[in-house]
Amino acid sequence: MKPVFIKLFYCLALLLLTGSGKVFCIMGLEDFTQETFQDTAKLQTLYDSAKFYSRIDPVLSKNLLHKLISISKSGDSSNLNDYYTLFGNACVVNGEFSEAQYYYNKSLAIDREQKDTLEQIRIYNNLHYLYLLSGRLDLSIQNAHEGVRLIEIMKQQHTLPPVIKQFGNKSSAWVEAYFYTNIGQINLKVGNYKEALLYYKRALASIEKSGDKVYYASALNDMALAYRQLKQYDQALVYIQKAININKEIDNEYGIGLNYQTLGDIYAQTENLSSARALLDEGMEILEKSDDITAQSLTLLSIVGVEIKSKQLARAEKNLAKCFELVKMSNDLRTLKEYYYYKFKLDSIHGKDQDAMASYIRYHELDKQIVDVKLNQRIAEIQTTFEMQRNEQENKLLKSENEVQRIRINKARTTLIFLCGFFSLFFIITLLVLRHQRLLTRHKIIELKQKNLNQQMNPHFVYNCLTSIQSYIFHNDTPKSLEYLSKFSKLMRKILESSQNQYMSVQDEVEILALYLKLESIRFQGKFDYNIVVDEKIDPILFKIPSLLIQPFVENSLWHGIQNKEGKGKIQVSFNLVNKSIFCTIEDNGIGRERAENIKRSRMTDHISLGASITQSRMKLLKSLYGNKLGIRYIDLKDNYNKPSGTRVELHLPILN
């Protein structure tokens, strides 16, 4: 067997390189098939050879396929449908349309039996093309509809693969657009412009998903053609301009040529003759580089039409004659019909009545041959039937989806009820835990507040105040002793009243600070000055802040900053409104925190000022309630020589009104 296999490849190579050796190749293949028909790899080689010759030598391809079909019928028939399909393709190339139809239908029968939907789609496409070539537009559009119907069913059933190997590994979106485009083009040929537009729109929607810009630009051009035939020129211009932009972007010169021909026709129909002529000339120059004789003929006919309108009759006759040569090569009846239409117009203008009449008669003969009323009716019936089937399929799918949706909704409802119950319970438990934590926090705040109150009423302060009063009495300074006693008692009363509430007004806070600083100023015999400033934007009665927070910081400024300072001290307390919160600063010109701490350690004083530390702890708890609206910051002030010149404390307090 091995020499036979080598012989096969020798014959094929000889045929490819020299164009001769056909007889030897056939004889070799005959021996080959008789001896090795059970060898799958070698049968595949035979099939590949038939496939190769199907376009360049369809007769040889058919002979090879006869052998393969004969072998398959007597042995493994798994590839018989492929052989029938390829046999049909070879018949189409050879112009044997009836025989091609026969083999395509045999292949289709096998594909239906095997329930191979993708192969059925391929055969429907082949049949569509076959009937298009043979002029049976009704059967052509019927098979195109059958193909796209199967694609839509597979899409609905979610069985359509993203790539279809039967169409050269094109995407499923591309294949779907291909069928819609073919249906649209047949409708355009028979004058069903609205139906053409409908299928072109479907093609455009599908091809946009595939990412094929060449095809997308072509689909846009088709849309422009349909709108032009419907005389909706504004819409036609929109789509053709999009097509031109895309073709320029991807440097598709042939596509640009077709676009210019379409745009030139639109301008001609809207009487913009100068622009039409320029675009048609440019389009013709591009298309002459291609093999598309039909496109060249149509562009020349468009140029002739513009020249007739522009009274350039000599040029029109010259271009029409050139067009006739191209039409004879293309053998396109529709282009030939248009040729006789323009010849009739030119003959009429020149007064050649007999020639004009002959052209007119030929034009109408071709028109009757092309435009078949019964054919249009059959096409309309076919499309109506398929649209009804399409709608029925969509309705079935919709009912099925509704049922699935109903089941999903019931499941979702059950799940939702369960989740609602679970999260409600979780929310209630969380709420109770948070409430408990909040109560604990408030309890701690109250405890710290009581400590803060005790600190504000510390024995040293009370003792010093009473000593000052005693001194005034001893020196028979009754007015000062009474004034001091009055302020002291008022301060004690204010502190006790504020301790009963979680928050107090800015006005009450200022009064407490003023009383405290006044008493200490008297006791220190004018060693320091003080000033309390409230921003005009703050309503001192309406705006409320956490109670008894500021006084311990003022006390720190006095005891640790001002008391040990040489010379006159100064304490400034200010309240400002910043971002919907109270910004309070306590600033002194004392000795600074570092030096105050050193003095405290050297003296080993028994006075322990816990006010600020207790207040800081309280502020941490308050921050858990009010978030970032509450905060504290210490700033050490320096003079021009970078020496300590005081301390500033900044408090951010929430407004609790």
Total residue length of the chain: 657
Q: Which of 343, 371, 399 is the last residue of a domain?
A: 371
CB 548 within 8 A of CB 651: no
CA 415 to chain centre: 31
Among 243-247, 285-289, 307-311, 437-441, name the one with the lowest average pLDDT. 437-441
12 pLDDT band, cuts 50/70/90, is: very low
Residues contacting 1, CB < 8 A, separation 6+: 35, 36, 39
Look up the domain containing 340 and give its range: 252-371
What's the pLDDT at 161? Answer: 93
Q: Residue 413 in contact with residue 579, Cβ under 8 Å?
A: no
The answer to whether residue 480 is domain-embedded is yes
More confident residue, 614 or 554: 554
Residues 466 and 352 in one domain: no
Q: In this model, does residue 13 exceed pLDDT 60?
A: no
pLDDT on residue 20:
36
CA of 464: how far to CAs of 470, 494, 524, 651, in Å?
Answer: 10, 19, 10, 29
The average pLDDT across 294-315 equals 90
Q: Look at 21 and 484; give whichever has higher pLDDT.
A: 484
Q: Is residue 180 part of a domain?
A: no
pLDDT at 401 over 70: no
3-class secondary-structure state, position 499: coil
> Does residue 126 surpass a pLDDT of 70?
yes
Would you put residue 592 in left (φ > 0), alpha (ψ -120 to 50) or beta?
Answer: left
CB-based contacts of 471: which residues, under 8 Å, 6+ apart?
Answer: none
Burial status of residue 236 (CB atoms within 10 A of its CB: 0-12, 13-18, 19 or more): buried
pLDDT higher than 90, residue 200 = yes
In a domain, 179, yes or no: no
The CATH number covering residue 476 comes to: 3.30.565.10
CA angle in degrees (0–180, nearest 5) for 378-379-384: 95
* Amino acid making up residue 538: I
For the cut 80, the answer to whether the pLDDT of residue 605 exceeds it is: no
Q: Do residues 645 and 638 touch, judged by C-beta distance below 8 A?
A: yes
Q: 251-255, 364-368, 646-650: which has the minimum mean pLDDT? A: 364-368
Q: How many domains does the chain have?
A: 2
What pLDDT does 609 receive? 52
Is residue 385 very low, low, confident or very high in pLDDT (cuts 50, 70, 90)? confident
Measured CA distances, 505 to 275, 356, 489, 584, 620 (Å): 82, 107, 20, 14, 21
Q: Write down which residue in 371, 392, 425 finishes a domain.
A: 371
Q: Mean pLDDT across the chain, nearest whole number?
A: 81
Residue 443: predicted pLDDT? 57
Q: What's the pLDDT score for residue 33?
A: 46
Q: Are residues 530 and 627 in the same domain?
A: yes
- In this predicted structure, the answer to whether residue 107 has a pLDDT above a threshold of 60 is yes
**Domain assignment of residue 3, yes or no:** no
Q: Are residues 476 and 582 in the same domain?
A: yes
Q: Is the pLDDT of residue 318 over 70?
A: yes
Same-domain status, 524 and 650: yes
pLDDT for 99: 92
CA distance linking residue 437 with residue 423, whole number of Å = 20
The reported pLDDT for the residue numbered 262 is 93
Q: What is the pLDDT of residue 446?
A: 55
Residue 8 scores a pLDDT above 60: no
Q: Does any domain span residue 581?
A: yes
Question: Running DSSP on this structure, what letter comes out for residue 30?
Answer: H
Per-residue pLDDT at 360: 87
Report the relative pairing of strands 170-171 and 163-164 from DSSP bridges.
Answer: antiparallel
Residue 529, strand partner residues: 570
pLDDT band at 102 (very low <50, low <70, confident <90, very high): very high
Q: Is 373 exposed, middle or buried (0-12, 13-18, 19+ CB in 10 A)?
A: exposed
Domain CATH for 293: 1.25.40.10
* The pLDDT of residue 421: 79
Return the half-sphere exposure (C-beta side, CA atoms, 13 A cut-off) of residue 30.
8
Task: Check whether residue 480 and residue 360 sit in a common domain.
Answer: no
Residue 587 has pLDDT above 90, yes or no: yes
Report the alpha-carbon distance of residue 145 to residue 131 in Å, rounded.
Answer: 13
Q: For residue 604, name the pLDDT band (cuts at 50, 70, 90).
A: low
Residue 7: what pLDDT? Answer: 39
**pLDDT category, 125, cuts 50, 70, 90?**
very high
Q: How confident is the model at residue 616 (pLDDT cuts 50, 70, 90)?
A: low
pLDDT given at position 36: 46
Determine the average pLDDT of the residues in 106-124. 92
Which of 78, 81, 135 has its CA nearest to residue 105?
81
| Res. 450: pLDDT tops 50 | no
Task: Judge contact between 123 and 150, C-beta under 8 A.
Answer: no
Where does a domain end: 338, 371, 404? 371
**Do 486 and 634 reside in the same domain of the chain?**
yes
The answer on 342 and 491 residing in a single domain is no
Average pLDDT over residues 356-380: 75
| Amino acid identity for residue 13 in this structure | A
Q: 642 and 517, same structural domain? A: yes
Residue 510 falls inside a structural domain: yes
Residue 442 pLDDT: 62
More confident residue, 507 or 76: 507
Say whether both 335 and 462 belong to one domain: no
Q: Is the pLDDT of residue 22 over 70?
A: no
Q: pLDDT higher for 206 or 330? A: 206
Contacts for 233 with CB less than 8 Å, ≥ 6 apart: 227, 266, 269, 270
The answer to whether position 183 is within a domain reads no
Domain-located, residue 568: yes
**Amino acid in position 437:** Q
pLDDT at 14: 33
Long-range contacts of the stretch 222-226 (C-beta < 8 A, 24+): 222/181, 222/184, 222/185, 222/188, 222/196, 223/197, 224/262, 224/263, 224/266, 225/188, 225/262, 226/184, 226/188, 226/193, 226/196, 226/197, 226/200
Whether the predicted pLDDT of 180 surpasses 50: yes
Do residues 278 and 240 lie in contact, with contact meaning Cβ atoms separated by under 8 Å?
Answer: no
Separation of alpha carbons 75 and 90, rounded Å: 24
pLDDT over 60 at 617, yes or no? yes
* Long-range pairs, 529-532, Cβ under 8 A, ≥24: 529/568, 529/569, 529/570, 529/571, 530/570, 530/571, 530/572, 530/573, 531/570, 531/571, 531/572, 531/573, 532/573, 532/574
Q: Beta strand 528-534 with 569-578: parallel, antiparallel or unpaired? A: parallel
pLDDT band at 209 (very low <50, low <70, confident <90, very high): confident
Query: In the predicted model, is pLDDT for residue 574 greater than 90?
Result: yes
Q: Are residues 345 and 489 in the same domain?
A: no
